[in-house]
Structure 1
Amino acid sequence: MELFCINQFLEGKTIFISGATGYLAKILTEKILRLQPHVKRLYLLIRAPNSNSAKERFNNEVLSNYYMISSKEKLGPDLHGFIEEKVFPVAGDIACDGDSLGINSELKDEMCREIDIIVNSAATTRFDERYRILRAFCKYDTAIRINTLGAVNVVKFSKQCTKLKMLLHVSTACVCSEREGLILEKPLNYGETLNGSSRLDIDVEKKLVEETLKDLQGRNATEKEVTLAMRILGIERLHGWPNTYTFTKAMGGMLLGHLKEDLQLIILRPTIILSTYKEPFPGWIEGYRGVDTFIVGYGKGKQNVAQVCISYVIPADMVVNSVIAAMVTHRVPSSHTAVYHISSSRRNQLKLGDVVQFVVDYFKKNPWIDERGKPIKVKKFHLLDSTASLHKYIAIRYMPILNILKLANLILFQYLQAVSTTLERSINRAIRLAELHKPYALFKGIFDDTNAEILRMATREINADDTFNFDPRTIQWENYLKEIHIPGLVKYIF
């Protein structure tokens, strides 16, 4: 990488971002606008039926959000005029079949003449809704339509953009999960599986979904029955991946590489994303994932058990910094596919044992105040090194009580039946939660980040300050968790 100012590169560029109402896309949009006001235009793809609805979603879900505070402080009353000039919400959907992404034809033609860079960050990610095992899996048809076929539609659109320098696809490091040892930064081969037991045919997966939906419609299945059938189908078709989210994201990545031809493709694979480290301000977060599930549960007095793991996490703004750094690095068109793991896994590991201690310390000092105004007294935390140890813990701690309650039901049936049922549900919930997070909690792999380190070195050369820092070695985990991340969860999530 030649010495080249990142801000200078962004000047005059037209950038198209899909998934624009998502967490990462919001931070990326804000940072570009704040640091390079002379960017030509940002086209933001927003799932909406028309342009007015797209603008409304942009105003309600993006412009009015917390994260815009930095830009508001910098631009003041001129912010809305500046946004009106630079940002163009586009009604569309990557799940729309074909090469238009559902965009109005006249606008699409204009975009294809102007776009320099495409960032595809659209995805459906809610694979842990309500912690129920079936709900741990997105509807298979929805996940394939967005995460897999959506990637195909983005490639088709990209090939029509005459000025396009690169397609940057935000994936997830979890597409390589369930592996052990050092996991290299390389593309997934088309048709490969994680369990090695069969060859993956993506056309077969698509056809199977279509035929199953057609059969359900022919039987006049209810919406609830269709949802259940699609989740079950997803469970049956995983080929070694732990859930439909990672499976369909993996298939999307395969198809990108398979269909891109001479397009320059950059694939970023961040690990589990936490709250912002510094920008637009420390601790901002939307939704929670991974280790946050245990932090929230523990702080609210509902969870005091966790499985031992290396928490392969990274703050959100570091992922965004890596996106911009990759744009600059690959500004010269090439047919090469570059893969980057954005992770703390290899160079600054965060062990869950440390997380637990930091969390316990925080909530002992700063207890959560419940809806009745009373502080939650946190319990002793139990770390478990396997699913078997979780079952042993439950057997020792809860099963004797449950058995006594069941026996007492013979005498005090109505009251104790309700108590024992509640306890049994708690036990089942703990087991389901452990099963859901087992692929991540007991993950043994280390994500290689050699390519990402080269990217970091080049970025440091051209920007001496930490404006685009994404080096995990600069994170002081105890300070970050106690002073930034957990307070952020309490403020924006609790």
Structure 2
Amino acid sequence: MVTIPEYYAGKNVLLSGATGFMGKVLLEKLLRSCPEVGAVYVLVRSKAGQSPQARVADMINCKLFEQLQVEQPGFAEKIIAVNSDLTLAEMDLSKEDQDLLAERINIVFHCAATIRFNEPLKDAMQLNVLATQKMLALARRMKHLEIFTHVSTAYAHCDREVIEEIVYPPPVDYRKLIDTLDWMDDDLVSSLLPKLLGERPNTYTYTKALAEYLLQQEAGDINVAIVRPSIVGASWKEPFPGWIDNFNGPSGIFIAAGKGILRTMRASNNAVADLVPVDVVINATLAVAWYSGSQMRSRSKNMLVYNCTTGGINPFHWGEVEYCINMTFKTNPLEQAFRRPNVNLRSNPFTNQYWTTVSHTLPALLYDGYLRLTGHKPRMMKTISRLHKAMMVLEYFTSHSWEWNTDNMSMLLAQMSPEDKKVFNFDVRQLNWAEYMESYCMGTKKYVLNEELSGLPAARKHLNKLRNIRYTFNTILVVFIWRIFIARSQMARNIWYFVVSLCFKFLSYFRASSTMR
């Protein structure tokens, strides 16, 4: 078998979703690790007055591409932006572009999708299902296509406890659903949504499952492989540890915890947090296309599915996530934190609701009141409301655990050469979670919030100030309770004096014991 870089040498690649988080990481890794690759055609739509070419130019000027810029200064010449909108007929591709892609493309990576969990069903179907159907229709015209790689999600079938590396039948016929949604109004769709979703939590997982089944039914002789990542987080190693550029998924939650805004969250401490670094997913995706493209052409009807997860191989739990977040942001705090980082995960919904009111809503109302009194625009309740919506979306995933079969991932790793295993490493058994979480948290500080490490001394000073304010507030609160409740009751005073004297005796005993040693 040829090595992975040798396989990609001279091949022309089509990439959808290139401006998204995973898409740009795939583009960077492909160009950096497979320098002999041919052209990479990226489907990009015009946005905010920017042409596709301008959007790509802006994208490759970000920090993610710095190492590639040093190693291959002329890499941008290989990236060809193609004007396209996946929601429009024939993806809004011109006849010339369609003919060009049909003639030249060897490998397709379909990464484009909406990642909003609460997207309206019609929009989710348009972006996750119909766009996949259009990509497949274009792929049928490609004369030299070797592999169509589709990026799905490990949660596509989260209504099951055990998820194998197979495509499961969907709850409805996607063809009938497409036809039905065409004439239904939005209110009727919303009323039917709970029935349609069944035990799935949102339209994202629902439509990703339909897209997988569509591929199985309509691929025909096209060689298709499906990659299912779980919760995609910051990079582990490449191109540098901790790179992340958005608030999506757990990143926004981590930042809110680091700022001291998030204090309580509904989650099970013992549930597996199936985080997977983005570079692990991308390395696996490139390896999947290499293996299926070079070895599976004669067996294209055998569509391989790869569960790219960590929980069954190197489990990490939400309780451990909580500990790592608190420790990292106390040692390396974010600038201008609202309170000291101290997030707590609670599995009981009533307890969590109580602490949400006490730790989130009331402080936000008090702070907004202070802002109004000082002539500023109130903003904290708006922030808390957005945070609560994000937590409600993630609650399902932080309160459940799944068992994923990863036999195909193990098989793929076994097929790779020692050199490929180093360059395209996705062996998560080597992943040290404590180190990764520290890199992740620091990545949100450096790359999402754009905070320089030189500001750490001032941030630590601010955190100490917040600690002193908290101690002062607690002291005042104790004195207030004493004056109102305890000082007016003889029985309460007797109990208070008894507790204080008991504590004093314990302290005296431990002090005497330590002196004797």
1:21-420 equivalences under 5 Å are: 21-48=19-46, 53-60=51-58, 62-76=59-73, 79=74, 82-84=75-77, 86-97=78-89, 100-127=90-117, 137-180=118-161, 182-189=162-169, 192-193=170-171, 200-213=172-185, 234=193, 237-306=196-265, 307-308=267-268, 309-330=271-292, 331-332=294-295, 333=297, 334-370=300-336, 375-391=337-353, 393=355, 397=358
Gaps of 5+ in 2: 366-371, 450-517
| TM-aligned CA deviation for residue 35 of structure 1 | 2.1
Deviations 1:356-403 (A, max 9, x none): 111111111122212xxxx554254322124344235458x579989x
Q: Post-superposition shift, 1:188?
A: 2.2
TM-score, structure 1 normalization: 0.80
SS in 1 for 2:197: coil
Call closer, same or farther: CA 1:34–1:432 in 2, change over 3 Å: closer
Secondary structure class of the residue paired with 1:151: helix
Q: Is the 8 A contact 1:171 1:270 kept in 2?
A: yes
Is the Cα–Cα contact under 8 Å of residues 387 and 434 in structure 1 kept in the other structure? no
1:223 alignment partner in structure 2: none
- Distance verdict in 2 for CA 1:424–1:321, change over 3 Å: closer
One-letter code aligned to 1:321: N
Which deviates further from its counterpart, 29-38 or 161-170?
29-38
Tell me how far apart the structure 2 counterparts of residues 44 and 400 of structure 1 sit (CA, whole Å): 45
1:188-207 deviation digits (Å, cap 9, x = unpaired): 22xx33xxxxxx13233323
How many percent identity over aligned positions? 26
Structure 2 counterpart of 1:441: 398
Q: How far did 1:107 drift? A: 2.3
- Pick the structure with more helix per residue: 2
Give the paired residue count: 430
- Give distance in 2, aligned partners of 1:400 and 1:376: 14
Please give the alpha-carbon distance, in whole angstroms, between the structure 1 residues aligned to 2:391 and 2:243: 27
Distance 2:307 2:430 in 1: 17
Shift of 1:259: 0.6
Cα 1:178/1:439, change in 2 over 3 Å: farther
Report how far residue 234 of structure 1 moved. 4.8
What secondary structure is seen at the aligned counterpart in 2 of 1:174? coil
Higher relative contact order (CA 8 A, sep 6+): 1
Identify if the C-alpha distance between structure 1 residues 329 and 400 changes in structure 2 by more than 3 Å, giving closer, same or farther: closer
Measured against aligned partners, the alpha-carbon deviations of 1:438-465 in whole angstroms (never above 9, x if no partner) come to: 2201122122211111111222x35265
- Which amino acid is 2:245 matched to? E
State the Cα deviation string for residues 146-178 of structure 1 (Å, max 9, x = none): 101111111111111111111100011111214
Q: Helix, strand or coil: the match of 1:340?
A: strand
Task: Give yes or no for the alignment of 1:492 onto 2:447.
Answer: yes
Tell me, in whole angstroms, the C-alpha distance in 1 between the residues paired with 2:361 and 2:50. Answer: 60
SS of 1:391 mapped into structure 2: helix
**Shift of the alpha carbon at 1:433?**
4.8
Cα distance in 1 for residues equivalent to 2:382 and 2:98: 52
Q: Secondary structure at the match of 1:269?
A: strand
Cα RMSD for the two superposed structures: 3.0
Partner Cα separation in structure 1 for residue 81 and residue 381 of structure 2:
49
TM-score normalised over the length of structure 2: 0.76
Where 2:201 maps in the other structure, the secondary structure is: coil
**Contact 1:386–1:442 (CA<8 Å) still a contact in 2?**
no
Amino acid of the residue matched to residue 485 of structure 1?
Answer: Y
